[in-house]
Amino acid sequence: MISDKKNRYSVSHNLILLVFIIALLMQKGVTGQAISGFVSDSKSGERLLYAGIYLANTAKGTSTNGYGFFSITPGLPQGDPVVLVITYVGYLSDTLMLNNLMKDTLVNIRLKAGLELRPVEIISGNSSGGTSSPGMHRLTAQVIKSLPALGGETDLIKVYQLTPGVQQGHEGTSGLHVRGGSPDQNLIMLDDVPLYNINHLGGFISAFNTDAIKSSTLIKGGFPARFGGRLSSVLDVSMADGNLSKTSGNLSLGIISARFSLNGPIRKNESSYLISFRRFYFDLIAKPLAQRANSGSTVGYNFYDLNIKLSRIINTNNRVYFSLYNGDDKTLAGFREKTDDGTDFYMQTNRWGNTMAALRWNHLFSSRLFSNTILHFTRYRVNNQLESETSNGNNKYITENQLLSGIGEISLKPGTEYYINPETRIYSGIQLTYRYFRPNNYTYYVSDGNQQFQSGHNHKMLMQAFEGIIYFGGKITRPAGHTLELGGRINTFTINNRFYIIPEPRIKANFHHNKNLNSFVSFDQMSQNMHITGNNSIGMPVEYLLPATKSIPPSLMKQLSAGLEYRSGNGIIYTSELYYKHFSQLAMLKDGASLWEGRENWEALFAGNGKGRAYGAEFMATRNEGNPTGWISYTLARSERKFDEINNGLIFPDQFDVRHCINIAMMLKIDEDADLSLAWVFNSGYRLTLPVSKYYVPVEAGDYTHMNEMYIYSRRNEFKTKPYHRLDISFNFHKQKKRYLRTFTLGIINLYNQRNPNAFYFTEIENFGPNNTRYKRITLMQRSFFPFMSNVGWSIRF
């Protein structure tokens, strides 16, 4: 339990929320009929999320929710015509006139895509041009696909790394360091289901196949109450539903991977499917080459992603969806060779990946009451196996070594939204989750082929936890356009007879000063019931997912943010935002601690009760209309940590405490068949810890002693790397063929060949001095990936 003092504070907060909700419920329902329904794409039937709807007569408005549903009560005198205007970026606006509205009416609005498809759109906040939301960026699949990509493989995470307040971590990785947070503090969801470790290829590419994605939203502040479980951000990715009218698809080939997707109706206008597959194919080349070089050798790496979605409209009030994702990385290296006496065999296989399945049901109880219920399963696991066999005449020796680590959960999440009137909306829901952790199961045995003559040490750890969450909130919009949203979550977490209850209040207020100027302020409290350790920065599967326990309790974060948004007359949107975050009860592995080979008392390896703070200012100018489109952003930020058992208890900078960060992304339409995009990133360098002194001590090695070189390190993260910057550029050439649209992509990553560091190491360099004297010099070196590189891709869309 949280301490009594905190409980009293939290209880008073909850009382305020309860009073607010009761007040909302007591809002006089407008005696008028409600118009509700869904907004979707006229061709494919895809639901359009966060589309704007407003009443032409009154300028009152609303937007579709995260499932494409809206409800609006005009409140006009009976007999007056009701004119709704519906807008969505990339689509032609539409109007709907309803005469003699006598009862609640359900409508389905279908928008046509714009005649000139804007190649890129980035939306900060809501899409409709109404009030903005603090700390949120929304990307469509179009934006993601248009920007330069490594090996021709567009990546959602890479594009978000170009937005203010988000650091990428080490060169080329898929880490998201959001406002001073670490990658384990991001809740990453696909169709409302959490995914863990979304990294392929050491973090160079994420698990999201852009062909399967409809839209995504990164929330850094002003968190809606239905989101929680992580401290720093929520990345909410929605899969496309599938075309209800006709079959379409695309095929893409890049330097490193191939993608194929197909979607269409199962029964026209009633049910649809989407299937999307991506595979990395380097192993198809490397494997035969390795065998050719040394027969019997095997080496390879591959990954794949499979997305499947099925949707069915049962009737006007009911729609169900089924989502499936399976992705895996696999490396293998080994050999099998015949010797004079027998055979030698060695094979090391590493696999890691996610599987998720979700069943979702949207139900309309009435024109004002919408519900969304999800039942999901998600699992992430790492499986490292080492097998060897040596046979020698009649003797055979077999060893097997397996390390298994993972996490899984089953969860039920029903939620509702009730539209009391155009100005007032309340929502609530519960989330019940059973979660298991297998942080480090290790088995090792030796056998002579007939029996195990030495049982290895088997270490199996299974931890089970139960999480129950209630969330609730309400949003009021005043006639002047100001909105106030109050909400909260009650997070309960049970593990090993230990019970935690943590309230998470959320407050968000937008102020609409005039048609061009909005301001906002928000306060969030977040908690995280699990700790993810390991070398997050290089994205290799060495992460361990561990639950909070009695000795390492859930981590907490409080954030206050405020900002302005100004929409100029020439289509540019200027935003600025200030934030301050405070972390508490953080946990990280102590210096030198390792979870390898299993350990009963793994909690002792952690330094707990850590604190941290992060604060900064973000500025962004976005152009969504005209040509070119894109954005420029600048972030000034600071992030630091403090642990009693690390750095002698002194405050130290976070590794990705990057003071200045500038991002430029631009998309230019050259003509009807060609467009250009570029991305330039700059940051002032990240932090590292270096050895500053060395000494020698005697170390016994059996019956002899050698002098071992030892190091004394600087204070944690005392040093700073040089600034990082890189320019990527990409050209897309389109050609409309009879039955498909062909796109050829040609680009360059790191156009001016900037050597940005991925790792540092020391080396001894021999130099020549005056009179040809030799001398040695110890030098710090940096290792960089991604020199000047070409980027080629080919795709067809039919």
Please give the residues from 234 up to 293 whose contact with other proteins meets the rule CB under 8 A.
255-256, 282, 285-286, 289
Q: How far is the CB of 438 from other proteins (least distance, A)?
A: 17
Contacting residue, 596, 627, 670, 798, with other proteins by CB under 8 A: 596
CA–CA separation, 165 vs 161, rounded Å?
Answer: 9
Query: Residue 108's closest CA among 84, 139, 73?
Result: 84
CA–CA separation, 761 vs 21, rounded Å?
Answer: 58
Q: How far is the CB of 390 from other proteins (least distance, A)?
A: 7
Rounded to the nearest angstrom, the gap between the alpha carbon of residue 346 and the centroid of all alpha carbons in its chain is 37
Our finding on whether 782 is near other proteins (CB under 8 A) is yes
Q: How far is the CB of 701 from other proteins (least distance, A)?
A: 6
Q: Return the range that interacts with other proteins (CB under 8 A); candidates 132-140, 478-486, 608-616, 715-723.
A: 715-723
Q: How far is the CB of 457 from other proteins (least distance, A)?
A: 4
Q: 350-353: long-range contacts (C-beta < 8 A, 24 or more apart)? A: 350/382, 350/383, 350/384, 350/385, 350/541, 351/381, 351/382, 351/383, 351/384, 352/197, 352/328, 352/380, 352/381, 352/382, 352/383, 352/541, 353/303, 353/326, 353/327, 353/328, 353/329, 353/380, 353/381
Residues of span 732-771 touching other proteins by CB under 8 A: 755, 757-765
Q: How far is the CB of 687 from other proteins (least distance, A)?
A: 11
Pairing status of strand 498-512 against strand 517-528? antiparallel
Smaller CB separation from other proteins, 29 or 685: 685
C-alpha distances in Å from residue 68, one per residue of 39, 73, 391, 690: 6, 17, 64, 52
Q: How far is the CB of 282 from other proteins (least distance, A)?
A: 6
C-alpha distances in Å from residue 759, one per residue of 162, 176, 535, 557, 781: 22, 18, 13, 30, 8
Smaller CB separation from other proteins, 248 or 390: 390
Our finding on whether 627 is near other proteins (CB under 8 A) is no
Q: Residue 38 is inside which H or E element, if any?
A: strand 35-41
Rg (CA), the chain: 28
Contacting residue, 43, 459, 498, 558, with other proteins by CB under 8 A: 459
Our finding on whether 650 is near other proteins (CB under 8 A) is no
Cβ atoms of 584 and 541 within 8 Å: the answer is: no
Pairing status of strand 248-254 against strand 233-239? unpaired
Per-residue binder mask for other proteins (CB under 8 A), 205-234, x = binder: ------------------------------
Q: Cβ contacts of residue 635 below 8 Å, gap of 6+?
A: 164, 165, 616, 617, 618, 619, 660, 661, 662
CA–CA separation, 631 vs 665, rounded Å?
Answer: 5
Q: How far is the CB of 403 from other proteins (least distance, A)?
A: 11
Residue 387 pairs in a beta bridge with 347, 400
Smaller CB separation from other proteins, 80 or 448: 448
C-alpha distances in Å from residue 94, one per residue of 38, 49, 387: 14, 16, 64
Contacting residue, 365, 499, 711, 733, with other proteins by CB under 8 A: 711
Residues of span 334-363 touching other proteins by CB under 8 A: none
Smaller CB separation from other proteins, 282 or 436: 282
Per-residue binder mask for other proteins (CB under 8 A), 127-166, x = binder: -----------------------xx---------------
Contacting residue, 340, 600, 671, 672, with other proteins by CB under 8 A: 600
What b-and-e string marks burial along 93-103, b requiring 16 or more CB atoms within 10 Å of the CB?
Answer: ebeeeeeebee
Q: How far is the CB of 771 from other proteins (least distance, A)?
A: 19
Q: Return the range that interacts with other proteins (CB under 8 A); candidates 17-25, 467-475, 662-670, 696-704.
A: 696-704
How many chain residues are in contact with other proteins, going by CB under 8 A? 84
Smaller CB separation from other proteins, 695 or 798: 695
Query: Residue 166's closest CA among 189, 185, 151?
Result: 185
Q: How far is the CB of 257 from other proteins (least distance, A)?
A: 11
Give the position of tokens 């990345």. 235
Pairing status of strand 248-254 against strand 257-267? antiparallel
CA–CA separation, 270 vs 713, rounded Å?
Answer: 65
In the sheet with 193-194, reading across from the earlier edge strand, the strands are: 122-124, 136-140, 213-219, 233-239, 186-190, 193-194
Our finding on whether 781 is near other proteins (CB under 8 A) is yes
Smaller CB separation from other proteins, 499 or 762: 762
Q: How far is the CB of 654 from other proteins (least distance, A)?
A: 15
Smaller CB separation from other proteins, 247 or 535: 535
The DSSP 8-state label assigned to residue 449 in this structure reads: S
Q: Return the range that interacts with other proteins (CB under 8 A); candidates 67-75, 226-234, 305-313, 773-781.
A: 773-781
Smaller CB separation from other proteins, 236 or 654: 654
3-class DSSP assignment, residue 718: coil
Residues of span 366-395 touching other proteins by CB under 8 A: 388, 390
Q: Cβ contacts of residue 406 below 8 Å, gap of 6+?
A: 379, 380, 381, 382, 437, 438, 545
Residues of span 417-446 touching other proteins by CB under 8 A: 444, 446
Q: How far is the CB of 407 from other proteins (least distance, A)?
A: 22
Query: Residue 267's closest CA among 250, 246, 239, 241?
Result: 246
Q: Per the omega criterion (within 30 degrees of 0), is the bond before 439 cis?
A: no
Which amino acid appears at position 207 of this protein? A
Q: Return the range that interacts with other proteins (CB under 8 A); candidates 84-92, 213-221, 238-246, 710-718.
A: 710-718
Contacting residue, 394, 451, 693, 772, with other proteins by CB under 8 A: 693
Residues of span 296-325 touching other proteins by CB under 8 A: none
Contacting residue, 449, 479, 571, 787, with other proteins by CB under 8 A: 787
Q: How far is the CB of 168 from other proteins (least distance, A)?
A: 18
Our finding on whether 396 is near other proteins (CB under 8 A) is no
Our finding on whether 709 is near other proteins (CB under 8 A) is yes
Residues of span 525-584 touching other proteins by CB under 8 A: 535
Smaller CB separation from other proteins, 363 or 599: 599
Q: How far is the CB of 768 from other proteins (least distance, A)?
A: 14
Smaller CB separation from other proteins, 446 or 621: 446
Q: How far is the CB of 767 from other proteins (least distance, A)?
A: 11
Q: Which two tokens stand for residue 562?
A: 């405020």
Residues of span 505-524 touching other proteins by CB under 8 A: none
Contacting residue, 784, 794, 796, 797, with other proteins by CB under 8 A: 784
Q: Return the range that interacts with other proteins (CB under 8 A); candidates 21-29, 132-140, 239-247, 689-697.
A: 689-697
Contacting residue, 266, 692, 735, 736, with other proteins by CB under 8 A: 692
Contacting residue, 680, 785, 794, 797, with other proteins by CB under 8 A: 785
Q: Residue 142 is inside which H or E element, if any?
A: helix 141-146
CA–CA separation, 162 vs 620, rounded Å?
Answer: 11
Q: Return the range that interacts with other proteins (CB under 8 A); candidates 411-419, 496-504, 595-603, 626-634.
A: 595-603
Our finding on whether 712 is near other proteins (CB under 8 A) is yes
Q: Cβ contacts of residue 460 below 8 Å, gap of 6+?
A: 438, 441
- What does the H/E/C string look like for 647-682? HHHCCEECCCCCCEEEEEEEEEEEECCEEEEEEEEE
Q: How far is the CB of 774 from other proteins (least distance, A)?
A: 11
Smaller CB separation from other proteins, 736 or 753: 753
